[in-house]
Structure 1
């Protein structure tokens, strides 16, 4: 049987992508998708994973959530968080995604630190979908995830001699 992507066979390359190129690929993924699975820790230590529609600003992702939700309660108690973002998977060659590891903080609407996030947050389509007025922005706070580490996976990188899993760290 013919191999459609022969570069996928054999051992994976062990070469890091230059940081500027890795950052560009991560920003592209964050900017071209809007669904993440957020993992928080329950009071008993059990993991809780919740899908959210997110927006991004640089390497941070953020979403709106009411203060009483389980994920919000979990993050108030323990701000450590992980988020998974994945592109549609057609086969091994299209495998592309990111895992963000970091901390989350909640920004209320009147918090001056929330302003750049509210400017970047695309809440209007959600309001239209739910029959709400776009003249009244959401009252719920924004949860901002700031990654300290991102594990980026893209098997297409093998084709050009780079390892398919790359690690980005905020501290360089």
Structure 2
């Protein structure tokens, strides 16, 4: 029987990608998608919330209403897990990431928001809400800078690399 992807047959390799190549693939995934699932934990247990996001380097950011359940959960426990993935056609196209880190909630007047707003396409949200594009955002911004990322891409097997790669924040 002819196979489209004969490199998927047999055991998966265990070779690690060099860090710079892994980071490039993660950045590509982050830049090519715009929806993720944010997992938080609160008094009622875990909650998984679909969120539209933007990225800056390896950080994921999104806006949120301060009164939302996810924000109440983040106030109680800032540890989060984020799952995102590219559309799946078959095993060869399997590509996604699990991001683990702590959420930082930046109030509308927090100067730490500035570099993130520059990468956030806030004009889209302003247009959707009928807000003038001449007024910059004045919203709560949530930023998750990862401590660890589990990246999965089965196409890596083709070049002899493990389909699951682990990125960890370098220690100072």
TM-score by length of 1: 0.95
What whole-Å deviation, never above 9, does each CA across 1:92-136 have from its counterpart, x for those lacking one? 000001110010011012111111011111111122233332223
1:140 alignment counterpart: 139
In 1, are the aligned partners of 2:109 and 2:138 still within 8 Å (CA)? no
RMSD: 1.2
Superposition pairs of residues 1-172 of structure 1, within 5 angstroms: 1-44=1-44, 46-171=45-170
Aligned residue for 2:7, secondary structure, equals helix
Return the alpha-carbon distance in structure 2 between the equivalents of residues 10 and 163 of structure 1.
12
In 1, are the aligned partners of 2:86 and 2:95 still within 8 Å (CA)? yes
Aligned residue for 1:149, secondary structure, equals strand
Structure 1 outlier segments of 4+, above 6 Å: none
User: Shift in Å at residue 34 of structure 1?
Assistant: 1.1
